[in-house]
Amino acid sequence: MMQTVFIGLGSNLNNPQQQVLQAIAKLQSLARSSFICASSLYLTPPWGIEDQPPFINAVIKIHTQLEPLALLDELLAIEVAQGRVRDIRYGPRIIDCDILLYGDKQIVTERLSVPHPYLDKRSFVVIPLFEIAPKLILPSGLALAEVVEQFQNEKIEKLTLLSEEIL
């Protein structure tokens, strides 16, 4: 069955904007999936460890027939292909691909938690997600529009790109 999935992307190393665009390009040809749209790219301050370069973040929407763990494996393969090394939690990274929402499913396994456990606590996720899904109701029952209000004063810069850079 086809599921609507939102995926968060982020990078702050090795030309972060290009890293995010490269991941989006790979996700556009994901097996058993249809790419729906991508948010703008956002320049955001680091979260967790503050002494690192700012991030470029985006959120994409896909429809997929991949099961959650199979999708996770595909995202991890994209990270590895782009040179991601997992060494410092919340530290600098070439690319990060996170399943934010997988339909209305709630999943808690050793490998995957959906909705993403920090989804509503991170402006760099909430703001781009709101851009592409302003009427979204989170599995908790809370409207995304209500969540986004708490981030009105965040220092997040929406970047302008030529539309063909994402296509």
The domain that holds 42 is classified in CATH as: 3.30.70.560
Active-site residue set: 84, 93, 96, 98
The pLDDT score that the predictor gives to residue 38 is 97
Question: What is the residue range of 32's domain?
Answer: 3-165
Total domains in the fold of the chain:
1
In angstroms, rounded to a whole number, what is the distance separating the alpha carbons of residues 38 and 22? 13
HSE-CB at 3 with a 13 A cutoff on CA atoms is: 16
- CA–CA dist 136, 108 (Å, integer): 21
Q: What is the mean pLDDT of each run of 10 residues along the chain (167 residues)?
A: 96 96 97 97 90 96 98 97 82 93 94 91 94 94 94 87 51
Residue 155 confidence (pLDDT):
85
In 3-state terms, the chain is what percent helix, strand and coil (to 5)? 30, 25, 45
- CA pair distance 93, 156, nearest whole angstrom: 19
